[in-house]
Amino acid sequence: MKQIISALFIAISILFASCSGKEETDNAQLEANISPVIPKINSTVVKIFVEDNQAVKTGDTLVLLDDASYKIAVQHAEIAVAVAKQNVQVSKSSRGTASSSVSSAAASSGAVVAGMSAAKAGVDAAKVAVDVTTKNYLRFKNLLEQKSTTQQQFDGIKAEKDAADAKLRIAESQVNSLNKQIDASKFQVATTQSAVATSNNGIGLAELSVKQAESNLEAARLQLSYCVITAPSNGIVSKKNVQKGQVVAIGQPLMAIADNQNVWIVANYKETQIENMKVGQEVSIKIDAYSDKTFKGKVTSFSQATGAKFSLLPADNATGNFVKVTQRIPVKIEFTETKDANFPLRAGMSVTANVKTK
């Protein structure tokens, strides 16, 4: 009989709750952004500027790490940048010298080519003179054989012919010499042009070295900046776990900054309770710490998965013995009233949330 009465009482309670247009749960708590404070380098703690539960603002210095080795790294990087820039200047100077050599070689080649025209004209003139003196020589030779001229006249003509032959040989020798000079000039121009190309490549590599050295310098300066650990957000210092002289490693939690301005509620309603819930519905909020105070809020969003799905080992109902368990859906609720300094809200406080569904 008692069991029947109890079951009837539960049924009536459920029916009354469904008719009342309210859905309530005490499986809820306050949430806030909690930013971890972690080092990005390995170093030794030199100074700590904050204590537990101290209010800080974004950018406030929290911890100072030993920066001696990082300053040295910055100095080395600065020296490397200076050396790389000097190498660029040297390469540009070499290119200037090579360019001057190209101009000089080209000018010399042009002068030799111009001289070649005159030399070829001289050869042509010498050939004409040889032709004329040869004909005179043959004619006077016949006259000498016929006793129609004197030996002296014949010797003069022969001397003219020999002089013309010698001038032709000299002119042809000059042409051959100029041809060799032209070939040498062309080779010199090609060599100096190759030197210019090599200098251009050297300048490109030197400029790349400058960029790499500057990048290394920026990286060194960035590492140096990590020696000053600042607050990532406004809030209250919590879970401080660092001491002066402590050697810290990358990623090691030193403390946390809990946001004391933006606080909301995550209420875990049963899946059977959210049928009539919608975004924007009013919520009556009771916080265990302030039993006489009722806060106002509204539903802002629903989780896409149940709380169990985010657990370390989510249940798999496809294996073993299946036992149906009512799941809970996290519902985000935000406060709609101005924050009251007399009732400070802290992450983790227990809450009872009552959503007005009608």
What CATH number is attached to the domain comprising 143?
1.10.287
Asked which of 23-32, 89-98, 244-253, 305-314 is least confident by mean pLDDT, the reply is 89-98
Cα gap 153→157, rounded to integer Å? 6
Residue 153 has pLDDT above 70, yes or no: yes
Which of 201, 223, 245 is the last residue in one of the domains?
A: 223
Residue 10 placed within a domain: no
Q: Are residues 269 and 139 in the same domain?
A: no
Cα gap 71→266, rounded to integer Å? 47
Return the CATH number at 30: 2.40.30.170
Average pLDDT value for residue range 69-97:
85
Q: Are residues 74 and 218 in the same domain?
A: yes
Residue 9 has pLDDT above 60, yes or no: no
More confident residue, 310 or 242: 242
Residue 15 placed within a domain: no
Q: Are residues 174 and 52 in the same domain?
A: no
Q: Are residues 77 and 48 in the same domain?
A: no
Tokens of 180: 């060799």
Q: Are residues 203 and 249 in the same domain?
A: no
Residue 39 placed within a domain: yes
More confident residue, 353 or 88: 353
Which long-range CB contacts under 8 A does 91-99 form with residues at least 24 apart? 91/199, 91/202, 91/203, 91/205, 91/206, 92/203, 94/199, 94/202, 95/196, 95/199, 95/200, 95/202, 95/203, 98/192, 98/195, 98/196, 98/198, 98/199, 99/196
- At 315-355, the pLDDT tens digits run 766 666 677 888 999 999 999 988 888 899 999 999 999 99
| Whole-number pLDDT of residue 105 | 60
Which of 223, 253, 275 is the last residue in one of the domains?
A: 223
What are phi and psi for residue 91, nearest 5 degrees?
Answer: -65, -40
What's this model's pTM, rounded to 2 decimal places?
0.64
How many domains in the chain? 2
Residue 351 placed within a domain: yes
Going by pLDDT thresholds of 50, 70 and 90, the confidence category of residue 245 is very high
More confident residue, 32 or 105: 32
Q: Are residues 261 and 304 in the same domain?
A: yes
Q: Are residues 248 and 338 in the same domain?
A: yes
Cα gap 127→319, rounded to integer Å? 115
Q: What is the tally of helices (H) and strands (E) in the chain?
A: 3, 12
Tokens of 148: 């129609």
Q: Are residues 158 and 212 in the same domain?
A: yes
Residue 1 placed within a domain: no
Residue-number span of the structural domain to which 58 is assigned: 21-66+234-356
Q: Which residues contact 105 (CB under 8 A, 6 or more apart)?
A: 185, 188, 189, 191, 192
Q: Are residues 214 and 239 in the same domain?
A: no
More confident residue, 47 or 132: 47
| Whole-number pLDDT of residue 8 | 55
Q: Are residues 104 and 198 in the same domain?
A: yes
Which of 160, 190, 223 is the last residue in one of the domains?
A: 223
Cα gap 299→145, rounded to integer Å? 141
Cα gap 80→288, rounded to integer Å? 63
DSSP 89: H
Residue 238 placed within a domain: yes
Residue 28 has pLDDT above 80, yes or no: yes
Q: Report CA Rg, the chain.
A: 51
Average pLDDT value for residue range 270-279:
93
Q: Are residues 328 and 341 in the same domain?
A: yes
Cα gap 65→200, rounded to integer Å? 45
Asked which of 3-12, 73-82, 257-266, 311-320 is least confident by mean pLDDT, the reply is 3-12
Q: Is 314 exposed, middle or buried (0-12, 13-18, 19+ CB in 10 A)?
A: exposed
Residue 28 placed within a domain: yes
Q: Which residues contact 75 (CB under 8 A, 6 or more apart)?
A: none
| Whole-number pLDDT of residue 280 | 93
Residue 69 has pLDDT above 90, yes or no: yes
Q: Are residues 209 and 81 in the same domain?
A: yes
Q: Is 352 exposed, middle or buried (0-12, 13-18, 19+ CB in 10 A)?
A: middle
| Whole-number pLDDT of residue 167 | 79
Going by pLDDT thresholds of 50, 70 and 90, the confidence category of residue 215 is very high
Residue 11 placed within a domain: no
